[in-house]
Amino acid sequence: MDIHKELDARGLICPLPILKAKKALSDMHSGEILKVLATDPGSVRDFQAFARQTGNDLIDQQALQGEGREEYVHLLRRR
C-alpha cells in the first residue's frame, strides 16, 4: 500500500491530531492515503468518528509499542 503523506501527531491530544489530519487531507487528492502517528489513546475512537462524519475511509488502525509508550497508527483514504 502506498502512503502518500505521513503526519506525526505524537504528543498531541484531542482535538489536535484530528485537526491536523483534516488539514493534511484537504491538500491531498481523492484516493490518496494519509498515515497518522499518534500517542493519544482517545485518537482511536476520534479517528473512527472522524471517518464516519467526513466520508473518508479509515483503512486501518494499529496500536504499537513505541519509545516507552503506546503509539497509534491510523490510515485514512481521502474520499
Helix ranges (H only) for 35-78 are: 43-54
How many residues does the structure list for the chain? 79
Amino acid (one-letter) located at 55: G
Q: Name the CA dihedral angle for 32, 45, 41, 1, rounded to a multiple of 10 degrees.
A: -20
Positions annotated as catalytic residues are: 14
